[in-house]
Amino acid sequence: MLSVWHESGDSLSRFASRHGLVAWRLMRWRRLLGKQATIQFHPVKLVRPPSRERATVTGGVELVLRDGRRVVIRRDFDAALLEDVVRAVESWSC
């Protein structure tokens, strides 16, 4: 999205508004990615939960960690809290 923004020639606020994004998040990513030479992605495996569990994650996402623990992220999640959780999980040595 940062590349698309720069190529568009739009101001940050106009681009964010057009694409349903939050301007401060784009600025944050630009700042964060500007400090790193490479981006490290972590493998993710999407699995469909058994039907009895499906109702618990309707409208959201469920992350299943390597050890079987689950993190359920509902559609109306708190983005700042999710960032804190991800930061904490990534700091664990697995």
Q: Assess whether 35 and 54 both reside in one domain.
A: no
The answer on pLDDT for 54 being more than 70 is no
Q: Assess whether 47 and 89 both reside in one domain.
A: yes
What is the rounded end-to-end Cα distance, in angstroms, of the chain? 30
Question: What is the average per-residue pLDDT within 63-67?
Answer: 74
Two tokens, residue 92? 């664990």
Q: Assess whether 29 and 47 both reside in one domain.
A: no
Q: Assess whether 64 and 93 both reside in one domain.
A: yes
Q: Which residues contact 53 (CB under 8 A, 6 or more apart)?
A: none
Question: What is the average per-residue pLDDT within 28-43?
Answer: 70
Q: Assess whether 54 and 80 both reside in one domain.
A: yes
pLDDT band, very low/low/confident/very high, at 42 (cuts 50, 70, 90): confident
In this structure, are residues 68 and 62 in contact, taking their beta carbons and an 8 Å threshold? no
Q: Assess whether 35 and 53 both reside in one domain.
A: no
Q: Assess whether 52 and 91 both reside in one domain.
A: yes
Q: Assess whether 15 and 25 both reside in one domain.
A: yes
C-alpha distances (whole Å) from 73 to each of 14, 47, 91 are: 29, 15, 19
In total, how many domains does the chain have?
A: 2
- Which domain range does residue 81 map to? 41-94
